[in-house]
Structures are given as structure tokens and as C-alpha cells.
Amino acid sequence: MSHTVEILSVGTELLLGNIANTDAQMLSQGLSELGLNVFWHTVVGDNPRRAREAVSLAKKRADIIITTGGLGPTCDDLTKNVLAEAFGKKLVFDEGSAERIRSYFQRTGRPMTDNNLQQAMLPEGCTILENDWGTAPGCAFEAEGVHVIMLPGPPSECRPMFQYRAKPYLLSLSEGVIASHTIKLFGIGESAMEARLREQMNTMSNPTLAPYAKEGECELRVTAKAASSEEAQSLLQPTVAQVRRLFGDKVYGVDVPSLEYVVIEGMKTKDLTLGVAESCTGGLMAKRLTDIPGASQAFKGGIVSYTNEIKQNVLGIPPHMLERYGAVSQEVAAAMAEGARRVLSCDVALAATGTAGPDRDDWNNEVGTMFVAISTLRGTHVRPLHLGSRPMRERLRTQTASHAFDLARRYLSGLDFEN
Amino acid sequence: MSHTVEILSVGTELLLGNIANTDAQMLSQGLSELGLNVFWHTVVGDNPRRAREAVSLAKKRADIIITTGGLGPTCDDLTKNVLAEAFGKKLVFDEGSAERIRSYFQRTGRPMTDNNLQQAMLPEGCTILENDWGTAPGCAFEAEGVHVIMLPGPPSECRPMFQYRAKPYLLSLSEGVIASHTIKLFGIGESAMEARLREQMNTMSNPTLAPYAKEGECELRVTAKAASSEEAQSLLQPTVAQVRRLFGDKVYGVDVPSLEYVVIEGMKTKDLTLGVAESCTGGLMAKRLTDIPGASQAFKGGIVSYTNEIKQNVLGIPPHMLERYGAVSQEVAAAMAEGARRVLSCDVALAATGTAGPDRDDWNNEVGTMFVAISTLRGTHVRPLHLGSRPMRERLRTQTASHAFDLARRYLSGLDFEN
């Protein structure tokens, strides 16, 4: 049976544009991986009439309705009231939920008002989805052939509530299990990747292969459905292996969060220390590396040398080199990496210098001209980049930092720096 | 006349969760500022039947329909076909648009395929919204009492197309002009700000006052509608002045993009140079400062001292100080700022040290314990922060950096560091 899903989000803050509907995105991704077809996203405000109309339409066209938002006391539990009414259900007081709400307030030391307990009123006979990340419980029920799942709106609650509550409920609707792996690639564009896979993707049904692109990186999600976990894994493994063969060392990891994560983990495993010297990226490399909790076990620090003076005085780059080649050059990139390795006394140092725009630099380098470098015990390597002037400043900086991380993960894996 | 708006987004990538519907957010914000009521967001995939059903519903309930996406050759110009059909309009070839598409491809050096010219087929009698940011033109028409505006989906095109094409069209529907100012605040929570303004906000109708909160900062948008720009400004100014009086030096600017922007511009104006020393923020301060184009005119660089060794060897902090007070302390924050000012030879230096989590540090400091410092010709000031352990790591780091920037903008404006 092929399910069709409507995601119905309730919240005036979405219609005012105060926030983007990231809940709908997160849910859509998760539901697609479960093999469910999301056909509609609908957003209405905290308005009972329009919420009722939206629910009555969703009932007719979808067989799974997932709502987000409208569960708290500030909107009088609009969503719960409207959904219960639409399916002819009463709301009944659930003592277990009330107890959880009371203890939540106790734990966080915030005062509880009476209307918080309204959140313990839930549709009769529903499955309660306990909320360990906030106060409003979610719930799920089936009626008139439609499955209804209600989740809280705040993304920090909606995400775990989907992952740990709604997903198991949805999986119980269908026989078998769903498992997936995410293959991460760097150094190939989305369209080039898709072109090499298109035919195959179209003919595959189990497992499926879905491409995603973001911030100059690509990923492929392989998802399989089977009677057991073991069977799902045995469906997945050949495809993962095949993708690895096809894209070779452009694959930087499977089921890993990011390039910088792979770099930090690799450094930790090999007991190496890391430092950075940044010109055009202006702190972004250090920032991304220290986004990883526990980065301090490998990352020692960095120098943001936004002026030639700091390149000379802090990184020790000879003035004649800056004069002869300019700050945006292969030579200075190498000297920055070597300087950082010395000044920060670390095993591996990465450097980036370039022209991030908006205008050409003093040496008339085009926007998008970048050099990233790595310095190690075994020597120094520089990768020149021509990223073009079309991407925005932010994007150029992100891609440049990623290229530097690519050098580091290649070093850690014993791969050639370029292929 | 009070308009009701539906934003209809067409794109399977939204339903798969590949991207968030940031177009709808951006449009909602812009439309709210124009005094238009957005009552519905709807998303459907590249599916003619469901797109038709969505349009037929939108026609009944909204008097302005704004579509995003579904205009390019990859989806056979689904949106244009469906909307034209729904309002009984033919698509006709527009030579001007064709010419623009040809020259776009010439300019960007990419090969043009024939189906790109399909984009020049537009509803008869429509207002063409020229797209200077991509290939697919937008369009607008009125039929059966409904205004239809079609915009391309990629956010980098949708945003300027709204700003420079759709907005003037919408303004021409109503008499008069709409003008707004955004007042930016730091150092006050959203709920505290709202509590002080709630009564007033509810009674105001022209101008209106709308609060926004993001990343630990707050803003207030004041919007007025009037027959002329001058009249709108004269409605706005008293409210802006009143908000300034009410919140005093918590207001850090009007119509400015960010705290870091105010810091960089202030430094440039006063001909001062800036440097940073970062521990817990790990490069985020430098990154945010260098997000500002032209930052190099004031920002010289930074030291990311993620280990005590670098605090000693690069920033010159005496080992006994680190041993006695620990890296997360008032004393070390001050020494970091002073060290950065010396090592980077800049006029003003900011520093941040703290425990960003996930766990308490070696000295058993709670997550969220932070110190930010500023060192100038006139001395050093440290602000201790207790941000609590509930915000995520990313959020803690962002707030800490913002507090450091707050010290800098207070210094630049001659204000007390604390109030």
C-alpha cells in the first residue's frame, strides 16, 4: 500500500515569515526515506476556521496527516481541538502526560501556569507520543482510514519527536524495516554526479538512490526496505560498494556528518594536531572545525591573517615574498601553512588565501581566485582554485574552506592530494 | 480593501525535503510589511493534476496568488501552463523575453538549448517581470478579481524578483506608499521586549510595530502607509524616536544589517583597527566580522587559541595566570584581549573564552559560562556571561560573539559597557 502524506503546519509566525518551515523540510526528508509520498505542505495561521478547512481538505486527499505546531497554551491547543473535532473525537485528560508536564517545569525551574495542563487533554484512544524535549505531548490515532500524527512546532522538539516517536509509529504501519546509508562526496558537482547515476537511479526500486546537494558538496542516500535489519543491510551494501567504486576517492565517508568531522576524527585517531592560517576564509575554517564537539582533542588553534602585516609579524612570511607574488598566490599559501605549523606547533596546518570579493583585489586577481594549502611532516601541497565570480561571498568562502578540509582528509587517508 | 494572499510553491524538491521553503518565508515577510495578509502557504510537486487542484482552491479563497517555482524547462513550465489554463488565458511568445534569455546565455557562456526559449511563452496580456538574475521571466496579471504573480523558485532569483519586480507591482495596486524602519536591539530578550510594547502594539494601526527575534537578538519593524514618502516618514519618525527612548542604549542601530556591521563601520569611521582572540567561539567572531564586505579596512585579524599552549605562546598569557584562574576566567579573558591587541598591533581587540559544551570543562565550569573582553587604549573591560546550558553549542557561541561585538559598539558610541 502506497501512502500519501500531507504535512499541515499551524502557526501565524510562519505566515508572517518570522521563521521558515524547516519542520516541513525535516519531515519530508524523513518521510521520503520511509518510502512515503509527501504530496502537500499546507500552512495556516492560528485561526480555527482556516485550520478546520485545511483539515477537512487534508482528510479527503491524504491518508496520513502530520501536523506541526498549534499544540501549546499560547494558541489554545488549536491543532488538537480542530483535529479531534474533525474526526469526531473527544479530548480526555491524561494523568500521565500531566505528570510529565509538571515534572518538566520542576526540572527546568520555571513556573507552571494552569493552562500548561491543558496540554494533557488528548484525543480519546490516541497513542500518546511522549515529549522528552518540551512540554506539549504529541499524539497519533487512526480514524476513517486516515492516520493522524500531531507534533509540536519548535524544531528542537519536532525533530526528535519525529525521529523517536512518529517514525516508530509509522514503521509499525508497514511490515518490515527501512534502513539507509548516506554516502558523502567532495570534488564533484551535483549534475555530474547525477549524470553518472541517472539511468541507474531510475531503474532502482529497492534500494533507492537519492542525490542531495548542499554548499558545494554532494551526498547520495541509499534506502532499502526489507523484512529485517539484516536483510535491509544486505540490500544496501552492494549499492554502497558500487557507488564507492564509481566515484573512488571523491567519496569521503559514509554516514558521517561533514568533511570537518572526518578531519577532526581522523586527526584524533592518528593522534595528530591541527592548526589553520586563514586569509580569505577569515575564521570560517576554525569556526567549522570547532563546531565539532570535542574538536579541542585535535585542533590547537588558528591565525586569521587578514592583513599582510599579520602574515609577516605573526605567521613569519618574508615581506619580499608578499611583494613579489602578492598575498593571493601559491607561494604565500604555502608559506602561510608552513608558518601556522611552526607558530602553532602542530603536526598538520591548513591555509587559505584568495579573493572573496565583492571586487578584484589590489593585484587584480579575479573574484574566486583561491589557494588552499596543507603543510605536514612530509612537505607542503597547494591547490589553486578558480571558483568563478558568480557564487556569493559566503558560498566562495565555504567552498574554499571545504577544499582545505579535502586536502586534510586526503592526507589522513593516504590518498593523492589531487586526482 | 484588505487583500488576502496565498503563496503557492511548486517543486518536488520541497516535498522531498531537499530544500526548505525559504521563498515562502521571504515573501511572507515582505508581504506582511506591505500590509497584506498571507493566510495560506501551499506546496505541491511538479504534478499537473495536484497543481491544478491547488490553483483552483487558491482562486476561491485568496485575492492575490503568488507562485514560486515551476517556471523552468526542467518542469515543462508547469506553473505558467496551469495558471494560464485556470484563468482561461493563452500563452503567447514574447520576443523581448526571448532576447533576454539568449543574451543571458551568451553573457554567462553557457550553451542554450531550445527548451530554454519556452520560457518566453507568457500569458497573453500579462505584465512581464523581467528577470535580471536568471533566465525564467516572471509575470503578473489580473483576472476574475484575482491578482496572479509568478516568480522563479531559486531563492537567489526569487528574492530580487520580489523586491524589484513584484513589490512595485503590488504597490501599484494600492494607493500611496509603504515605508518601514527596522530598529535593532541587543541585550534584551524577545519576551521582555514584547511585554513592554504589547499594549501599544495592539492599539497601533498606522504605523504598525512588529517584533522579530533571532539568534539572541531582537528587532522591531515599524511600517507606515501614507499618500507620499514624506508623509510615511513623518508617521514613522515619532515611533522610532519613542522606541529609542524606551529601550535606550539597547538599540544598536536603525536599518543596519547586524551588530558586526555596526562594529566594522564604526571602526572604519573612527579610523581604528580591530583584532580578536577567540577560545570558545573558535573563529566565529572573525568569521562574522569578515562576512562584511570591505571588513579588511578595519579588521586586521585574529588568533584562535583553542589550547593553553597557544594562549601562552602566541598571545603571551603568563602560564601562572592560566594555572591560577583557569582558561575560563575574567583574568584570562582580559589577558587574551590585551595579548591580541599587542600581537596583532590593533587599536581595539575583543576576546572570548568559555565553556560551550557539550560537557563541563576541566575546571568544572558549567556549560554556558563565558567571558568576553575588550581592550583599548583606555583600558580593558570584561563582561561575564551565564548563558545557561539549555541553548545548543552553536547558539551559545553565537550569543557569546554577539556580546563581544556589543562591547565594541558601546565603546565606539561612547556608552557605558554595562547598563
Q: Which amino acid is at B271?
A: D
Residues of chain A in contact with residue B350, where contact means CB-CB under 8 angstroms, are: none
Residues B317 and B375 in one domain: yes
Say yes or no: A274 and A362 in one domain. yes
CATH number at residue B328: 3.90.950.20
User: What cell does A295 get?
Assistant: 574538536
Residue at grid coordinates 509520498: A37
Sign of CA dihedral A282, A285, A290, A294: negative
CB-hemisphere CA count at 13 Å for A392?
10
Instruction: Indicate if ipTM > 0.90.
Output: no
Q: Chain B contact for A344, CB < 8 A?
A: yes
- C-alpha B327/C-alpha B341 separation (Å) is 18
In order along its 419 residues, chain B shows pLDDT tens digits of 468 999 999 998 899 898 899 999 999 989 987 878 899 999 999 899 999 999 999 999 999 999 999 987 767 789 999 999 999 999 999 999 999 888 888 876 677 777 788 889 999 999 999 998 888 899 999 999 999 999 999 998 999 999 999 999 998 887 777 788 999 999 988 778 888 887 777 778 889 888 877 777 889 989 888 888 899 999 999 999 999 999 999 999 999 999 999 999 999 999 999 999 999 999 999 999 999 999 999 999 999 999 999 999 999 999 999 999 999 999 999 999 999 999 999 999 999 999 987 788 888 888 899 999 999 999 999 999 998 876 678 889 999 999 999 999 999 999 999 98
A155: contact with B, CB 8 A cutoff: no
Q: How far is CA A259 from CA A212, A291, A368, in A?
A: 15, 12, 21
B269 and B149 belong to one structural domain? no
Identify the domain containing residue A28 by its residue range: 4-173
Whether the CB-CB separation of A178 and A172 falls below 8 Å is answered with no
Asked if B270 and B403 sit in the same domain, the reply is yes
For A396, nearest residue in chain B (alpha carbons): B291
Decide which of A122, A155, A173 is a domain's last residue. Answer: A173
Residue A238, C-beta contacts closer than 8 angstroms, at least 6 positions apart? none
* A40 plus A71 within the same structural domain: yes
Element (H, E) at B56: helix B48-61
B344 to A47: CB separation less than 8 angstroms, yes or no: no
pLDDT in tens, A30-56: 998 787 889 999 999 989 999 999 999
B15 CB neighbours in chain A (<8 A) are 28, 32, 38-41
Please name the residue ranges forming H helices in A248-375.
259-269, 284-290, 308-313, 319-325, 330-343
Q: What is the DSSP string of B79-145?
A: HHHHHHHHTT--EEE-HHHHHHHHHHHHHHTPPPPGGGGGGGEEETTPEEE--SSSS--EEEEEETT
The dihedral region occupied by B391, where left means phi > 0, alpha psi between -120 and 50, and beta the remainder, is beta
Report CA A170 to chain centroid distance, whole Å: 22
Q: Where a domain ends, among B173, B201, B226?
A: B173
CATH number for A229: 3.30.70.2860
Does residue B280 fall inside a structural domain? Answer: yes
Nearest to residue B371, comparing CAs of B363, B413, B260? B363
Same domain, B334 and B198: no
End residue of a domain, out of B232, B254, B276: B254
**Is B418 a member of any domain?**
no
Residue of A nearest to B286 (CA): A283
Kindly state whether residue B127 falls inside one of the protein's structural domains.
yes
Nearest to A290 among B32, B43, B283 (CB): B283
Contact A304 B293 (CB under 8 A): no
Contacts of A278 (CB under 8 A, 6+ apart): A284, A285, A286, A302, A303, A304, A305, A351, A352, B283, B286
**Residue A140 sits at the chain B interface (C-beta within 8 Å):** no
Chosen for mutation from B34, B36, B41, B273 (greatest number of chain A CBs closer than 10 Å) is: B41
Instruction: Spell out which residues of chain B touch residue A296, defining contact as CB-CB under 8 Å.
Output: 306-307
CATH number for the domain harbouring residue A76: 3.40.980.10
Cell of B274: 580591530
A133 assigned to some structural domain: yes
| Whether A89 and A144 share a structural domain | yes
Do residues B162 and B226 both lie within one domain?
no
